Chains A and B, each alone.
Chain A
Amino acid sequence: MSAITQTSDLTNKAALIPLATERPAYYRMSGIEETSNVSSEFQEERSEVEVEEEIGYEDPFRYVFYRDRKEWADLEPVPQDDGPNPVVKIAYSDKFTDVYDYFRALLKNDEKSDRALLLTAEAIELNAANYTVWHYRRVLLQALEKDLREEMRYITAIIEDQPKNYQVWHHRRMVVEWLNDPSEELEFIAEILSQDAKNYHAWQHRQWVIKEYKLWDSELEYVEQLLEEDVRNNSAWNQRHYIISHTTGYSDPAILNREVQYSLKQIKKAPHNESVWNYLKGILQDLGLSSHPGLLEQILELKETHCSPYLLGFLVDIYEDFLENTLEHHEEVLSKALELCELLAREKDTIRREYWSYVGRSLQTKYVIVSSGFAPTNE
């Protein structure tokens, strides 16, 4: 039995793929199980055997199992051994079993050869998440001193096809490190992000490349471009923070103010956006939300025209910061905070009704002035 993968993507790609005989050796179809419930639309594009990599046999369109290849006759295939009572069985295709039986044989002997390298590509095509295959491939690449530029092309194609796989990104990182050449990375990652602007692996790789090779210079511009395209892209906001905190930092008041103004501008464009509010709070909270001059007034003004549960929560947090840092106007501030919690619970963020009530109670418990009968007034 096997996997049902996202097929529409593959269908489009299948149509673009030249016949197996014309394809360069490293190019691979995505790692799907051929004999599976692959959708019929896909199968109309290419018959199963046409997309196989053939390695110079008389009939280029017929796949030959490793067990039938004379150049592999010296190797004894190693089956998987799950003992007398296998508890979990997967009915893999013949092809899968054949390739992996020979993979296990190579591993056991720790063989270092070109044929082994070629086989790893087949094994990867069948299951790109097998971390042992990738490790062995890396061992071979180094032992055989293979062309790492070619490997970059190979891993580029694989990632394009399976961009949410951990092993492929790790492999790419290793190759980049060996080459000590990040020159393709930012463009490649941008291409992947253009397909899914929030791909966590892509962003992780991007942060690593930028930090490792000090490629900070153009990143803020890239982030702004992404935020132009989607101001709600939380990954882009995170990257904004990453870049600035690692370059100029936020301690310069001019920078901080620039970022506050940028955030307020984005809020006005799209008020219902948790990411921008998180960013704004994030860059100000350690200094104390109540200490930034004019901020409270600006937010109160925004409340009239660009309200959101995030704005109201932000106000609660500003008031709490006041309470924490000054005794002035204590009852008034506490009362405003409680009023907002009540508004959020009752009307503006009802899914979190119980939570906002809890926040209100906590504030009350923490900040009520227990002296000479003072108590918060509820308006």
Chain B
Amino acid sequence: MKLHLVYFTVLTLNSKLFFFGSGPPKRPLMLTIVFFALSGLDVLDSLNVIDKPSLIEWVYSLQVIPTEDQSNLGRCGFRGSSHIGVPYSTSKGPGVSHPYDSGHVAMTYTGLACLVLLGDDLSRVNKEACLMGLKALQLEDGSFYAVPEGSENDMRFVYCAACICYMLDDWSGMDIKKAIDYIRGSMSYDNGIGQGAGLESHGGSTFCAVAALSLMGKLEEMFSQRELNRIRRWCMMRQQNGFQGRPNKPVDTCYSFWVGATLELLDVFQYTNFEKNRNYILSTQDRLVGGFAKWPDSHPDPLHAYFGICGLSLIGEANLRRVHPALNVSQRAFEYLQHLHRTWRGTCT
């Protein structure tokens, strides 16, 4: 465990960032990497190594806030990084107008999650603007773009949208019915869930769908018991030792979370084989720098390191905090969020 702590700390505190395996550093996605690091440290019960106030400021500097004339409301949310070149500002005062500055749904999700993890009270989040920005991303079929300029649309962003609404305790940011229609329409003939209608069922999109429904409070309402049993079966069949993402594909550490968490939400994770799962995840550890990779003897990366830890947390590994299977943060952070919600609901607007 200590090694993983080192791995995550290296990611956030060192002046140099190491990215292995997956290609050039993806600057515009920086916030997601920071989320993996922070949430990973949290699950390792080690957020105390972080300079929280500084990080909170940095996250707030990524918020796309309304300009003076409010003409950019449909573009609000959080950026992944400062890569566009907008001058640094920690969400104080109106936003700076820039022709290409918009939020990204995954960054808004991870930005809010990071703030929650860091114990911030979200008071500098312009909730109305975030929700307007989110609404602007939803398509007719219920799915979401990542950015208002347009992008691909699939179940990943449905999940991000659900997390945003959940964390802000406000579902006006989406048309829930349409989102649910999209989710139901993405169920495959084999009872897994694909990224969209007709697409191959996949562990990642199945998680996104089931977790989104769970966050909406609609899981039992929108799927019959028979359908839920079918989804359970599809997910259970993904275990080979670790978990695969699709039938007849190799296992990969991150599916120990994607599929594991889905099974947990469906109340049957307890019936998986913990030992084989654990042994697989541990076999993908990097003994030099810590972290996990998708396969044994491969380079670790922040995503697999984080989901490896989460996969172990699901089976109740010692010295790890429990992870909330739908919101994908520690139970501690989840309870802090519940507390925030209570304080919001307690006061009059």
Partner of A1, one of B19, B85, B270: B19
Q: Is there an interface contact between B19 and A87, defined as CB atoms closer than 8 Å?
A: no
| Distance A355 CA – B82 CA, assembled complex (angstroms) | 48
User: B236 contacts the other chain (Cβ, under 8 Å)?
Assistant: yes
In the complex, identify which listed stretch (A131-139, A151-159, A293-301) lies at the interface while the others stay far away. A131-139
| Residues of chain A lying within 8 A (CB to CB) of residue B240 | 351
Given A87-B55, A89-B16, also A234-B248 (CB < 8 A): yes
**Closest Cβ–Cβ distance, residue B334 to chain A (whole Å):** 24
In the complex, identify which listed stretch (A75-83, A334-342, A369-377) lies at the interface while the others stay far away. A75-83
Given A104-B85, A107-B100, A169-B152, also A200-B200 (CB < 8 A): yes
Q: Is there an interface contact between A3 and B83, defined as CB atoms closer than 8 Å?
A: no
| Residues of chain B lying within 8 A (CB to CB) of residue A87 | 12, 34, 51, 54-55, 58
User: A166 contacts the other chain (Cβ, under 8 Å)?
Assistant: yes
Tally of contact residues, B, Cβ under 8 A: 74
Chain B residues near A (Cβ < 8 Å): 12, 15-30, 33-34, 51, 54-55, 57-58, 61, 81-88, 90, 98-100, 104, 146-147, 149-152, 188-191, 194-196, 198-202, 230, 233, 236-237, 239-241, 246-249, 268, 270-273, 276, 299
Most buried by A among B16, B147, B191, B198: B198
| Distance A91 CA – B88 CA, assembled complex (angstroms) | 19
| Distance A346 CA – B228 CA, assembled complex (angstroms) | 25
Q: List 14 A-B contacts (CB under 8 A).
A: A3-B23, A32-B23, A80-B82, A105-B85, A127-B26, A132-B100, A198-B249, A204-B195, A204-B196, A234-B248, A234-B249, A238-B201, A278-B189, A358-B268
Tally of contact residues, A, Cβ under 8 A: 75
Most buried by A among B22, B189, B246: B189
Chain A residues near B (Cβ < 8 Å): 1-5, 31-33, 78-92, 100, 104-105, 107-108, 110, 126-132, 135-136, 162, 166-167, 169-170, 198, 200, 203-204, 207, 211, 232-235, 238, 241-242, 245-246, 273-275, 278-279, 281-283, 285, 313, 351-355, 357-358
| Distance A313 CA – B271 CA, assembled complex (angstroms) | 16
Q: Is there an interface contact between B28 and A129, defined as CB atoms closer than 8 Å?
A: yes
Q: Is there an interface contact between B151 and A83, defined as CB atoms closer than 8 Å?
A: no
Given A198-B249, A235-B200, A274-B237, also A3-B85 (CB < 8 A): no
Partner of A100, one of B26, B83, B88: B83
| Residues of chain A lying within 8 A (CB to CB) of residue B82 | 80-82
| Distance A333 CA – B190 CA, assembled complex (angstroms) | 24
Most buried by A among B15, B17, B24, B248: B24
Partner of B18, one of A1, A86, A275, A355: A1
| Distance A135 CA – B194 CA, assembled complex (angstroms) | 26
Given A1-B16, A1-B19, A83-B88, also A354-B276 (CB < 8 A): no
Q: Is there an interface contact between A351 and B271, defined as CB atoms closer than 8 Å?
A: no
| Distance A107 CA – B241 CA, assembled complex (angstroms) | 49
| Residues of chain B lying within 8 A (CB to CB) of residue A132 | 28, 83-84, 100
